Amino acid sequence: MWFRMSDIYIKVRGISKEYRIGERNEYKTIRDSITGFTSRNYKRLISSFDRKPVGASSTDSPADIKPLNNYFWSLQDVSFDVSKGEVVGIIGRNGAGKSTLLKIITGITEPTEGRIDIYGRIASLLEVGTGFHLELTGRENIYLNGAILGMKRQEIDRKFDEIVDFSEIHQFIDTPVKYYSSGMRIRLGFSVAAHLEPEILLIDEVLAVGDAAFQKKCLGKLNNVATSEGRTVLFVSHDMTAILSLCHRTVFLENGRKISEGPTDQIVQQYMQSMSTSFELPLEERADRQGDSSVMITSLKIEDSEPGAPIRSGSQLKIKFNYKSDNPIRFPRIIINIRDFASRINILRLDSEMCVDGIPENLPPVGCVTCLTEELLLTPGRCVVDLEFRRGMVKADKIENAGHFDIEPDDVYGSGKLPSRGQSVSLIKYKWQLE
Amino acid sequence: MLKAKKTSKIIDPQHAGFNKTTDSERRKAFAVREPQKDISLRLKELYEYHELIYFLIWRDLKVRYKQTALGVAWAIIQPFMTMVVFTIFFGNLAKMPSEGLPYPVFSFAALLPWQLFANAMTTSSNSLVNNRDLITKVYFPRIILPIASIVAGLVDFCIAFIVLVAMILYYGIIPSAAILVLPLFVLLAMASALAVSMWLSALNVQYRDVRHLIPFMTQIWLFVTPIAYPSSLVPENWRFVYGLNPMAGVVEGFRWALLGKSNVSWSLVTISSLMVLFLLIGGVLYFRRMERTFADVV
């Protein structure tokens, strides 16, 4: 009688969210909004002269303002249900709207359109260790962080020992967190979060941190939380193995829209296929550039050299980007840095000047450059790419974290086993011998 | 009656067995996320988060004097040194009237509520920006942050108050029964700080100009408040305008309640109190309207 099929815990209906470009990155000063206001109205005035007689400007103002302010939809008309006890995965590329969706469900931000009904106490885990205060001790931070995540005081009292046990930092529990290593902070943060007991739990990519052993422990704990305790969980991740092992059902988002929803293995397969199909990342709107702007890198595409195949350990990588400039470019030099996503450690530097098959001394003002690598023997995981374009000695354009790619596991050794990213970044073929 | 008790007893274990929620309870959504159309104060929700308010206050207090050599003494040093300077320049050199009270007590009794207000307003106005990581990662009623900063300011006030009591004893001033309403004026000082910081903290999220405005504003504000001088110096026909400064009424009332002697201008206190109320209601409504986009903008 109690457990009906219609026991929906989260009901998402037609959710859309509109952001203004740049709004998230910069804050305004009053001067900016005054200048913005006047230029907006000036342009509106001009356009009203152009098209319509006097007096019409006020009626068509929304249409006039829109293109000037650059709005974009982070989410568009997304609907789905989550039932009691279900573990639902949300997957999609960066910028697909996954995190925005979680933020709307938790109430951090408000949808522009649509409605979500939530039938239960909800807690979210968007970042491990949120609200840690460096001056406070581990013990104090457990209480503070617990309260921030929505735990009651007695609840924290009750679980305190369990939390400390899980974090494995007993002897430092009365040391200020500022003296902790980053790994210890993450462990403490996750331990608090893992002991939340809401009816609905939202998790965003928390496993991408910490060392491999602890990651495994976290995944195990999450598995417990999700399955044996019968909790409703919404889980966002790029880690397909985690999604496959935890989630009953999965929702696939792309460009803010729901592409599909269904059994996890089917949806993950669909996602992997879409990942491997060529995908060009536009870079023109990136504001975090360095350099004198004489050249602009406009887009980036990273793919397997074999068309349509996903990037695996041992793939030959094809990194392709477009650029534009006002003039032909003399003595160009291109540097591509590949770094590990989690640790930010440099893995590879592909420098056109250090390569025999480099690029010509003159490049046309607009063009497309490709760098093709040999077998890239890296462990599965995410890599980020920095792009730098130089003209002779001058740094013309540089974008850090221009894009990223995920390396899927492949049976490089033929043994069916690979080290994890935490254990090693690169792979090499080797053999053992008894002398 | 006995019967009713019995049935409820039978049902209760079943409720408890089903994870505290029944079908009828749950069909009413626990929470709804949608574009907000009306502005409500949502005080009930605020109560649900009272433990978080407590923890944030506790954090502010724990952290405030960490790694300082003088520690809590700062709560005394600031108003005390200001009082000394005021006494030398305004009291002794400028011969400022102090309504028959010793000038040090006269100014110190005003400096305490003033410092409470000024410090609370400053930290509270910056509270949203300083807790950016919380706002973008966790949901809670945002109003908790400015409230917690204001309440945390009360501790400094209490410490400095001990010094004030010592001074009163030293000068042999005997408070009248008016001292009973003293807490009301402390509350009014905090309400003023909250009222102002509702506006400023919300504005600060969008316009960081506020950060530069605040120190400058408090400096000016100090002089338009009857701290170094009695409000009776202000011409009678300007009293109304003068009372629009919420702190004028607070300081005047606080001094009267504690030291008794000064002939308090009740019209001033009334106008100030109404002003606080007006600013506070407007501020909270403004805050509630703006908080929807805090996470996107901050």
Judged against a pLDDT cut of 70, whether residue B18 lies above it is answered with no
Provide φ and ψ at B207, rounded to 5°. -120, 110
Confidence class of residue B72 from pLDDT cuts 50, 70 and 90?
confident
Judged against a pLDDT cut of 60, whether residue B240 lies above it is answered with yes
Confidence class of residue A233 from pLDDT cuts 50, 70 and 90?
confident
Residue B185 included in any domain: yes
Residue B271 included in any domain: yes
Residue A186 included in any domain: yes
Task: Indicate whether A237 and A302 sit together in one domain.
Answer: no
Give bridge partners of residue A376 from the DSSP assignment. A315
Subunit contact B55:A111, Cβ cutoff 8 A: no
Task: Indicate whether A99 and A179 sit together in one domain.
Answer: yes
Mean per-residue pLDDT for A188-196? Answer: 85
Mean per-residue pLDDT for A270-288? Answer: 74
Strand, coil or helix: B294: helix
pLDDT tens digits for range B267-287: 888 999 999 999 999 999 999
A135 has a chain B CB within 8 A of its CB: yes
Task: Indicate whether A185 and A216 sit together in one domain.
Answer: yes
Subunit contact B27:A119, Cβ cutoff 8 A: yes
pLDDT value for A351: 92
Last residue of one domain, picked from the residues A230, A255, A276: A276
Task: Indicate whether A200 and A88 sit together in one domain.
Answer: yes
- CB within 8 Å of chain B, chain A residues 27-56: 27-30, 33
DSSP B149-161: HHHHHHHHHHHHH
pLDDT value for B15: 38
Mean per-residue pLDDT for A383-393? Answer: 90
| Lowest mean pLDDT segment, chosen from A47-56, A298-307, B27-36, B218-227 | A47-56
pLDDT value for B45: 82
Residue A229: partners with Cβ closer than 8 Å, 6 or more residues away: none
Task: Indicate whether A198 and A299 sit together in one domain.
Answer: no
Confidence class of residue A158 from pLDDT cuts 50, 70 and 90?
very high
Residue A385 included in any domain: yes
**Residue numbers in B near A153 (CB within 8 A):** 51
- CB within 8 Å of chain B, chain A residues 87-116: 103-116
B133 has a chain A CB within 8 A of its CB: yes
Subunit contact B137:A117, Cβ cutoff 8 A: no
pLDDT tens digits for range B183-207: 999 999 999 999 999 999 999 998 8
pLDDT value for A203: 84
Question: Which residue is closest to B129 within chain A, CA to CA?
Answer: A27
Check if the beta carbon of residue B162 is closer than 8 Å to that of residue B247: no
Task: Indicate whether A129 and A236 sit together in one domain.
Answer: yes
Residue B190 included in any domain: yes
Question: Which residue is closest to B59 within chain A, CA to CA?
Answer: A144
From the centroid of its chain, how far is CA A381? 13
Number of domains into which chain B is organized: 1
Residue B226 included in any domain: yes
Nearest-angstrom CA–CA distance, B71 and B75: 8
pLDDT value for B259: 86
Q: What is the mean pLDDT of chain A?
A: 81
Number of domains into which chain A is organized: 2
Instruction: Give the one of A4, A115, A131 whose C-beta lies nearest to B33's C-beta.
Output: A115
Instruction: Give the one of A114, A147, A152 whose C-beta lies nearest to B34's C-beta.
Output: A114
Task: Indicate whether A244 and A350 sit together in one domain.
Answer: no
Task: Indicate whether A87 and A160 sit together in one domain.
Answer: yes
Running DSSP on this structure, what letter comes out for residue B91? I
Instruction: Give the one of B62, B205, B293 whose C-beta lies nearest to A140's C-beta.
Output: B62
Residue B68 included in any domain: yes
Confidence class of residue A278 from pLDDT cuts 50, 70 and 90?
low
Subunit contact B295:A113, Cβ cutoff 8 A: no
Instruction: Give the one of B29, B35, B138 whose C-beta lies nearest to A130's C-beta.
Output: B138
Residue B138 included in any domain: yes
Judged against a pLDDT cut of 70, whether residue B21 lies above it is answered with no
Mutant choice from A74, A117, A127, A196 vs B, greatest count of B C-beta within 10 A = A117
Residue B53 included in any domain: yes
Q: How far is B278 from chain A (nearest CA, A)?
A: 25
pLDDT tens digits for range A320-366: 999 999 989 999 999 999 998 777 789 999 999 888 888 888 899 99
Subunit contact B296:A118, Cβ cutoff 8 A: no
Check if the beta carbon of residue A104 is closer than 8 Å to that of residue B33: yes
- CB within 8 Å of chain A, chain B residues 135-154: 135-140
Task: Indicate whether A191 and A90 sit together in one domain.
Answer: yes
Task: Indicate whether A247 and A335 sit together in one domain.
Answer: no
CB pairs under 8 A between A and B: 122
Mutant choice from A3, A19, A99, A110 vs B, greatest count of B C-beta within 10 A = A110
A147 has a chain B CB within 8 A of its CB: yes
Q: How far is A127 from chain B (nearest CA, A)?
A: 7
Task: Indicate whether A293 and A270 sit together in one domain.
Answer: no
- CB within 8 Å of chain A, chain B residues 52-81: 52, 54-55, 58-59, 62-63, 66-67
B134 has a chain A CB within 8 A of its CB: yes
Question: Which residue is closest to A112 within chain B, CA to CA?
Answer: B35
Alpha-carbon distances of B127 from A130, A290, B130, B133, B200, rounded to whole Å: 16, 32, 5, 11, 10
pLDDT value for B16: 38
From the centroid of its chain, how far is CA B188? 8
Closest CA to B197 of B133, B99, B251, B130: B130
Range of the domain at A358: 286-407
Residue A193 included in any domain: yes
Question: Which residue is closest to B24 within chain A, CA to CA?
Answer: A2
Last residue of one domain, picked from the residues A245, A276, A307: A276
Residue A272 included in any domain: yes
Mean per-residue pLDDT for B156-170? Answer: 93
Q: What letters, b where the CB count within 10 A reaches 16 and e where it falls short, cover A157-178?
A: eebbeebbebbebeebbeebbe
pLDDT value for A38: 61
How much of chain A, in percent, has pLDDT values that exceed 70? 83
Instruction: Give the one of A115, A131, A133 whose C-beta lies nearest to B32's C-beta.
Output: A115
Alpha-carbon distances of A423 from A210, A213, A378, A401, rounded to whole Å: 12, 9, 11, 23
Mean per-residue pLDDT for B17-22? Answer: 41
Alpha helices, DSSP H, located in B88-230: 103-130, 132-137, 144-171, 182-206, 209-223
Subunit contact B52:A117, Cβ cutoff 8 A: no
pLDDT value for B19: 41
Residue A66 included in any domain: no
Task: Indicate whether A97 and A202 sit together in one domain.
Answer: yes
Last residue of one domain, picked from the residues A232, A247, A276: A276
Residue A144 included in any domain: yes
Nearest-angstrom CA–CA distance, A382 and A407: 6
Subunit contact B31:A2, Cβ cutoff 8 A: no
Residue B11 included in any domain: no
- A241: CATH: 3.40.50.300
pLDDT value for B82: 93
- A313: CATH: 2.70.50.60
Q: How far is A3 from chain B (nearest CA, A)?
A: 9
Nearest-angstrom CA–CA distance, B141 and B294: 11
Residue A325 included in any domain: yes
Nearest-angstrom CA–CA distance, B180 and A328: 83
Range of the domain at B155: 41-297
Mean per-residue pLDDT for A229-246? Answer: 81
